[in-house]
């Protein structure tokens, strides 16, 4: 299977299968039920959040046949001629449906002339024409276009949403994935359903027995082993500069990415503080996120053994993640965070 096949296979085909966008599906379903769909919609939101999938679901839900569905990728068709070619037949009635649906993806990429050409049609469309525009950059879409559309903002999925999707789809593929492995795939997916499923595809491809451990996932995505990140945090807790640097460079020498390393360290430092100050209610949440064994280690660091891991630790690690962009070598930012945290006066 190709890398993107999971995304295609599990792309939602109906509203109830769409994850995390209930504030949009409820409105669209209500409009269909009343028999009053709008003539123009603008779907805005980060990449991989299901904008074009939702557009196709909506088109199918109002009974639009494939012959009456037209799509344009504005990222590669930006000019006036491209838009005019798409809209040349807008005045003719549909072949086999009540509505003709036009989906224009990455609409913000259209040129000024193309927007002007499109605006005339959008102002006075025939009653059987319906437009769905999609964009990752709403601010670049002219107000004249926005004002003639119903605008919907797509939310990025939460880590919990992505983790649940990874676990569910792995199961449907006949595999099991460790909680910490699912968390790692979700983390690397960076708020995108599509990217998360692409990463899961890679992991499933290399697994021989479809029992996905965290270490297997880490090896595929270039992440350090959780034990190595644990060694790093334990060294910080003991104020052991040599141990912290040793754990960091062990991870890097084994192929881990410095940015991923610090992101995982941030996740665990945050969990330690939540366990320390959030009470027993946080125990189950942390266990679900990291797995029972690692949660037990984090719980110990939330007690007296880890008093040196505090809000300053979390702030320094977050600062290192931000500073990486300006460093000649990303690992230097983590090293500086360690020095600042553990240096003595």
Of 209, 227, 149, 156, nearest to 186 by C-alpha is: 156
Model confidence, pTM? 0.79
Least confident of 128-137, 182-191, 313-322, 330-339: 182-191
Report pLDDT digits (tens) over 121-144: 898 889 999 999 999 999 999 999
**Residue 55 pLDDT exceeds 90:** yes
Q: What is the pLDDT of residue 302?
A: 92
Domain 226-342: give its CATH code. 1.20.272.10
Per the prediction, the chain carries an average pLDDT of 90
Report pLDDT digits (tens) over 88-119: 888 899 999 999 999 999 999 988 888 988 89
- 344 falls in which pLDDT band (50, 70, 90)? low
Of 200, 205, 173, nearest to 189 by C-alpha is: 200
Q: What percent of the chain has pLDDT over 90?
A: 62
Task: Decide if 112 contacts 74 (C-beta within 8 A).
Answer: no
Task: For 100, list phi and psi in degrees, rounded to 5.
Answer: -95, 130
Query: What token pair was written down for 316?
Result: 């320094």
Domain ranges of the chain: 20-153, 159-221, 226-342
Burial of 139 (0-12, 13-18, 19+ CB in 10 A): exposed
- 2 falls in which pLDDT band (50, 70, 90)? very low
Q: What is the pLDDT of residue 27?
A: 96
Q: Which fold has domain 20-153?
A: Rossmann fold (3.40.50)
Of 265, 257, 217, 216, nearest to 237 by C-alpha is: 265
Domain 159-221: give its CATH code. 1.10.8.60
């Amino acid at each position: 299977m190709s890398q993107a096949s999971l995304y295609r296979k599990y792309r939602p085909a109906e509203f109830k299968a769409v994850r995390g966008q209930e504030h949009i599906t409820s409105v669209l379903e209500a409009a269909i039920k009343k028999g009053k769909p709008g003539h123009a919609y603008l779907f805005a939101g980060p990449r991989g959040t299901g904008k074009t999938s939702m557009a196709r679901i909506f088109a199918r839900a109002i009974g639009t046949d494939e012959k009456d569905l037209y799509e344009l990728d504005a990222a590669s068709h930006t000019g006036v001629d491209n838009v005019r070619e798409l809209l040349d037949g807008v005045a003719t009635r549909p072949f086999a449906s009540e509505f003709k649906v036009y989906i224009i993806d990455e609409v913000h990429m259209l040129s000024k002339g193309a927007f002007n050409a499109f605006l005339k049609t959008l102002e006075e469309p025939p009653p059987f024409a319906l437009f769905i525009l999609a964009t990752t950059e709403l601010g670049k879409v002219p107000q004249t276009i926005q004002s003639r559309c119903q605008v919907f903002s797509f939310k990025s999925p939460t880590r919990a949403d992505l983790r649940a999707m990874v676990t569910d789809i792995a199961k449907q593929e006949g595999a099991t994935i460790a909680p910490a492995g699912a968390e790692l795939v979700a983390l690397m997916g960076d708020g995108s359903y599509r990217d998360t499923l692409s990463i899961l595809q890679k992991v499933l491809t290399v697994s021989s027995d479809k029992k996905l451990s965290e270490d297997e996932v880490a090896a595929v995505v270039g992440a350090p082993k959780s034990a190595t990140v644990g060694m790093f945090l334990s060294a910080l807790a003991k104020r052991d500069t040599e141990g912290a640097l040793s754990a960091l460079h062990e991870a890097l020498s084994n192929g881990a990415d410095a940015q991923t390393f610090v992101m995982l360290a941030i996740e665990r430092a945050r969990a330690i503080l939540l366990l320390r100050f959030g009470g027993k209610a946080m125990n189950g949440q942390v266990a679900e996120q990291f797995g029972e064994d690692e949660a037990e280690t984090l719980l110990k660091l939330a007690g007296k053994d880890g008093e040196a891991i505090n809000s300053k630790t979390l702030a320094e690690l977050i600062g290192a993640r931000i500073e990486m962009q300006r460093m000649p070598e990303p690992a230097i930012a983590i090293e500086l965070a360690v020095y600042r945290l553990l240096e003595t006066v």
